[in-house]
Structure 1
Amino acid sequence: MIPASVRFPPEVVLAHAAAQIPEPGVLPGGCRYEPKWDGFRVTIVSDAVVSLWSRRGSDLTGIFPEIAAAGRQLPTGSLFDGELVIWQDDRLSFEALLRRQSTGARGAGRLSRELPASLVLFDVLALDGTDVRRLAYDERRELCELALEHVRPPIALSPMTRDKSVADGWFADMAPAGIEGLVVKGGAQRYLPGRRLWIKVKRRETVDVVIGAVIGPIERPEAVVVGLVVDGELRIAGQSAALRPEQARSLGELLRPPTGEHPWPEVLSPGRLGPFSSAQEPVRLTLVEPVVAEVSADSARTATSFRHSVRFVRVRPDEPLPS
């Protein structure tokens, strides 16, 4: 049985962002580097039945029946932490995961054949009915390796290295496969649910977008709402992180109210600002005359939107709007 000390739905350790890959001695017990998978963070429980839980506490068992079936390979009384992913054309496809999720259990059997998922495990919370979260990461990793030694796809153990030069190579070389970056953990760290103990380092790039609206007053915006031109249409693609005071001041001097009909509404439902927007209520926009800008964005995106907030860099008023 899963020990009573583990609450359900299971809560996981979190990570905080860093701009650079940390040096080996930054975390307690030394740094352990793993690829950052572009998927759904999940926990999988193997007990009398196998169940699959999202980070937010949703039961995903019926949506991914192929993973639940493969989970019967795991030791009884175990609980593992990992990432649910889908490979398409040798690259991770987050869009395919969203399709699986939106279809739900109704079409799960068909989609499990058309868009089969895989589960990459990287930590263990309970094993053989024992709560192992108090153990150091290095000890938990050893338990993972032993427990998963004979487990076959679609479940696999995530790679890990203690060598920063190897991690640097992964960061650069795994980009074509859709790996977002690295997650770094301390060899002596215990598993403390809800705490931001780990470090995530994401690959970022500068992208040209169109600012079509802001949040807050036009003369001192709080954040920008950005768009991308898709099939000749300017579509909302996400929003920026909060602007610094000097950014808000200089941007407010350049922005102007729209001079004609604007393609965007003045009020948005929360989901329109991206799959992972934290907005819970409708968002009121201050529409502006569209202008090209540069933003810094991580690699997590769909074909038409950014999945996380972007960082505003600068306005490009000299650049013509894309058509």
Structure 2
Amino acid sequence: MSPDALRPPVKPMLAQARETIPGPGALRGGLAVELKWDGYRAIVFTPSRPGGPVLLQTRQGGLIQDRFPDLVAAASQLPPGLVLDGELLVLNGDGVMDFGVLQRRAAAAVPRTVRALAKAFPAYFVVFDVLQLEGQPVLAEPYERRRGWLESLFADHALSPPWTLCPSTRDPAVAREWLGTWTRAPGIEGVVCKGLLQPYRPDTRGWLKVRARETTEAVIGAITGTLGRPHLLVLGRYDSEGRLRHVGKTTGISPTAARQLADRLTAAAPGSHPWDGARFSAGWGTRDVLDTTLVVPDRVAEVSVDTARDRGVWRHPVRLVRLRFDVPVQDVQAF
């Protein structure tokens, strides 16, 4: 094994957001476009010597291979001294990619629970880069060459699920089709653009990501800031039983939108709001909570959202497009 062999933690290469798929000159050597998956970013390390441990590292550097014994067992398909970058996914009982179930598996700690979850909800690993081959790091090699090695790895070792090779294209028409059509399926939220001549640079936002977005409507149930100057909106939708269910929050709204809302929001009377006593997270995965004011839920916002959802809740902050004072709350799509 090379003395320079990679060991955890390895910080993954990252992507910066774009609104549209860029032209071929945006990154070095032209573009390759891959699907962007809605799972957990992870890096797999196979042992360089027989009997060594298989390691599964999160984006933050934690090791979670004990939570995914099914992937560890399937690593017997992989050659030694290999490091793969990809996305960890889990299917629910209906065979659909499910972020909520993935969270359950990643948080499980009791061995019996870990085994039961692995049996009920199998994990899959979508591979989109190779960082090391036969104990030798290949980060300095261009993406085009790394991709070729990755394709050969799958072909030479006849890799099968849970190992899946991420689709990649250099055809702009195919990339646009993926962004417009494939993202309708649960678990696919957009595309990632990579330069054919780019090396792999850990902890650098050298790639470009484009999330699929749609415009929809939701009810304003709470705000941060003040009634005179709201900062962001906490949104809800009514379910079939008439309950207002929390579905997400916006990014900070513009001064113009804040002025429009200032005369049209009414603070909810104590004990009258369906969210009385509720607390809203400041961000996905954080314990910080928002300081909110509940308002009478009689105003509608049109928002731009991506496809990352967990049981009807938008995981990423949404963007306010405009306020819809002309739309009654009963016309908003149900939860």
Of 81-90 and 31-40, deviating more is 81-90
- Structure 1 residues 153 and 171 mapped into 2: Cα distance closer, same or farther (>3 Å)? same
C-alpha displacement at 1:269, in angstroms?
5.8
For residue 119 of structure 1, what is the amino acid of its counterpart? F
Of 156-165 and 98-107, deviating more is 98-107
* Aligned structure 1 segments of 4 or more residues deviating by more than 6 angstroms: none
Instruction: Tell me what 2:181 maps to.
Output: 173
RMSD (Å), alpha carbons: 2.2
Cα distance between partner residues in 1 of 2:226 and 2:2: 52
Of 30-39 and 247-256, deviating more is 247-256
263, 273, 279: which is aligned to 2:274? 263
Residue segments in structure 1 that go unaligned for 5+ positions in a row: none
Cα distance between partner residues in 1 of 2:222 and 2:3: 50
Task: After superposition, give the CA deviation of every residue in 1:8-52 in whole Å (9 maximum; x if it has no partner).
Answer: 322111111111112222211111001111211111111121111
Instruction: Tell me what 2:127 maps to.
Output: 121
Alignment of 1:48-197 (within 5 A): 48-88=52-92, 89=94, 91-106=96-111, 107-149=113-155, 150=157, 151-178=159-186, 179-197=188-206
State the SS of the aligned residue for 1:212.
strand
State the SS of the aligned residue for 1:181.
strand
State the SS of the aligned residue for 1:8.
coil
Cα distance between partner residues in 1 of 2:277 and 2:325: 23
C-alpha displacement at 1:257, in angstroms?
1.5
Number of aligned residue pairs:
319
C-alpha displacement at 1:110, in angstroms?
1.7
C-alpha displacement at 1:268, in angstroms?
2.5
Cα distance between partner residues in 1 of 2:165 and 2:18: 25
C-alpha displacement at 1:284, in angstroms?
1.1
2:5–2:136 CA contact under 8 A, matched in 1: no
TM-score, normalisation: structure 1 = 0.90
281, 291, 308: which is aligned to 1:300? 308
Percentage of identical aligned residues: 40
Cα distance between partner residues in 2 of 1:253 and 1:29: 53
- Structure 1 residues 10 and 67 mapped into 2: Cα distance closer, same or farther (>3 Å)? same
1:266–1:286 CA contact under 8 A, matched in 2: no
C-alpha displacement at 1:223, in angstroms?
1.2
C-alpha displacement at 1:2, in angstroms?
7.5
Cα distance between partner residues in 2 of 1:13 and 1:306: 25
For residue 259 of structure 2, what is the amino acid of its counterpart? R
Cα distance between partner residues in 2 of 1:193 and 1:250: 44
For residue 203 of structure 2, what is the amino acid of its counterpart? G
State the SS of the aligned residue for 2:170.
coil
For residue 158 of structure 1, what is the amino acid of its counterpart? C
Cα distance between partner residues in 2 of 1:109 and 1:305: 28
Instruction: Tell me what 1:233 maps to.
Output: 243
C-alpha displacement at 1:259, in angstroms?
4.3
2:4–2:136 CA contact under 8 A, matched in 1: no
Cα distance between partner residues in 2 of 1:267 and 1:113: 35
For residue 273 of structure 2, what is the amino acid of its counterpart? H
Cα distance between partner residues in 2 of 1:5 and 1:253: 62
